[in-house]
């Protein structure tokens, strides 16, 4: 999975291309051609969601196990 810094760099590059109206973008060694500006906006929104998910404070999962008849847990 990409780091927050990599996602931010991709978002910034994509946003820069969108501002100039360029639909063909090359980042991370891959060439991507978007059909419309709306496709680029959706991709930016997806990157924003991924960044937010990585920056959110993590929740520690707690698993409660009950073993009937066990005197020590």
Q: What is the pTM of this model?
A: 0.70
- For 2-59, the pLDDT digits (tens) are 888 999 998 999 989 988 988 888 877 889 899 999 999 999 999 999 999 888 877 7
Distance CA 66, CA 9 (A): 47
In sequence order, what are the residues at sequence separation of 6 or more whose Cβ sits closer than 8 angstroms to the Cβ of residue 31? 24, 25
């Amino acid at each position: 999975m990409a780091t927050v810094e990599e996602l931010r760099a991709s978002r910034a590059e994509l946003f820069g291309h969108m501002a100039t109206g360029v639909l063909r973008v090359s980042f991370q060694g891959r060439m991507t051609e978007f059909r419309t500006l709306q496709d680029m906006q959706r991709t930016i929104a997806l990157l924003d969601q991924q960044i937010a998910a990585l920056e959110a404070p993590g929740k520690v999962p707690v698993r409660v196990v009950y073993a009937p008849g066990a005197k020590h847990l």
